[in-house]
Amino acid sequence: MTSPRYKRILLKLSGEVLMGEGGKAIDPEVTARVAAEIADVKAQGYELCIVVGGGNIFRGLAAAAQGFERATADYMGMLATVMNALAVQNALERIGVDTRVQSAIPMQSVCEPFIRRRAARHLEKGRVVIFAAGVGSPFFTTDSGAALRAAEMNCDALFKGTSVDGVYDADPKQVPTAKRYDTVSYGTVLSKNLRVMDASAVALCRDSNIPIVVFNIREHGNFAAVLRGEGVSTVVR
Ligand code: UDP
């Protein structure tokens, strides 16, 4: 049964959640485990969109710091998200989940271009739609892409699947006494510069009234549990 609170949700997957222990950018076993968590939730009747990042392969900002032209580096980063989208699609279809990939940068031989109404139709037919290439422009991130797609696809919530279990008042790796928020306001996230998503993505969710649920997708059963209102997460609203 779907959560009465949410019917259509957008899942943002950072590229790093597909990484293996040995630093392999896309680890097939790890990707298969993430896909199984997604399939579990899909089977409960949710309409599900996914936005994938590319940070496990290429980050424009980091590359620019090493001498690449920023815009070119960002396009390379967007291409990395398409690779991740295909990996997630492959892992989901292997376990029987019907999917479509839509890219903000058209590449017809590889996947569909982003067409909002077509994406909506896929969702209505029970397909998972995976959005690649962020917003399709340099100087943005896939966090902004996730907020934008969540808003235009009328999603009830944006779930940010990461490898940490929520939002802390300080970096838990550096401050042992750091506390995890159960809920926190958009305003606090922005004013304290808490690391949830980038500021423009948080502001877009705030303006569209879309809650952001930060949770650990690598923990087995946690995605479904968080949707049931159990499990560990932080809700930004
Ligand atoms: N990117 C971009 N525009 C977008 C989305 C992504 O230029 O709309 C580029 C940017 O260089 C970014 C890279 O793609 O560093 C990978 O995306 P991101 O860093 O958001 O991935 P994540 O951290 O979620 O894995």
Q: Tell me: the pLDDT tens digits for 67-78?
A: 999 999 999 999
Q: Per-residue pLDDT for 107 more than 80?
A: yes
Q: Within a 10 A sphere around the Cβ of 156, how many other Cβ atoms?
A: 18
Contact 158, 147 (CB under 8 A): yes
pLDDT bin (cut points 50, 70, 90) of residue 172 is confident
Q: What is the pLDDT of residue 188?
A: 96
The CA 142 to ligand 1 mean position distance, Å, reads: 5
pLDDT bin (cut points 50, 70, 90) of residue 4 is low
Q: Is residue 74 part of a domain?
A: yes
Task: Provide residues with CB under 6 Å of ligand 1.
Answer: 14-16, 53-55, 59-61, 73-74, 77-78, 80-81, 134-135, 137-138, 140-145
Interface pTM (ipTM) of the complex? 0.99
Residues 6+ apart with CB under 8 A from 121: none
Q: Is residue 3 part of a domain?
A: no
How many structural domains are present in the chain?
A: 1
Q: Is residue 157 part of a domain?
A: yes
pLDDT bin (cut points 50, 70, 90) of residue 60 is very high
Q: Per-residue pLDDT for 2 more than 70?
A: no
Q: Per-residue pLDDT for 210 more than 90?
A: yes
DSSP codes, 178-227: --B-SEE-HHHHHHTT-SSS-HHHHHHHHHHT--EEEEETTSTTHHHHHH
Q: What is the pLDDT of residue 3?
A: 65
Average pLDDT over residues 218-226: 94
d(CA 78, CA 105): 8
Pocket test for ligand 1, best of 78, 88, 160, 198 (most atoms within 8 A of CB): 78
Q: Is residue 1 part of a domain?
A: no
Query: Does 142 show up as a binding residue in the annotation?
Result: yes
Q: Is residue 171 part of a domain?
A: yes
pLDDT single digits (tens) 22-59: 889 999 999 999 999 999 999 999 999 999 999 999 99
Q: What is the pLDDT of residue 23?
A: 85
Entry pTM? 0.96
Q: Report the percentage of the chain scoring pLDDT > 70.
A: 98
- Tell me how many degrees the CA angle 224-225-230 measures, rounded to the nearest 5: 155
Average pLDDT over residues 162-190: 92
Q: Is residue 52 part of a domain?
A: yes
- From the list 48, 52, 46, 43, the residue with the least C-alpha distance to 10 is 48
Q: Is residue 2 part of a domain?
A: no
In the three-class reduction of DSSP (H, G, I as helix; E, B as strand; rest coil), residue 160 is classed as strand
Instruction: Give residue 93's domain range.
Output: 8-236
d(CA 124, CA 117): 11
HEC-encoded secondary structure of 86-143? HHHHHHHHHCCCCEEEEECCCCCCCCEECCHHHHHHHHHCCCEEEEECCCCCCCCCHH
DSSP state of 20: -
Residue with tokens 């890219």: 103
Q: Look at 225 and 5; give whichever has higher pLDDT.
A: 225
Lowest mean pLDDT among 57-61, 103-107, 193-197: 193-197
Q: What is the pLDDT of residue 145?
A: 98
Average pLDDT over residues 143-167: 96
The sheet that has 157-162: what strands, in order across it?
112-113, 99-103, 128-132, 47-52, 8-13, 157-162, 212-216, 233-236, 183-184
Pocket test for ligand 1, best of 11, 81, 102 (most atoms within 8 A of CB): 81
Q: Is residue 127 part of a domain?
A: yes
Average pLDDT over residues 84-112: 98
Contact 158, 212 (CB under 8 A): yes
Average pLDDT over residues 84-96: 98
CATH number, residue 62: 3.40.1160.10
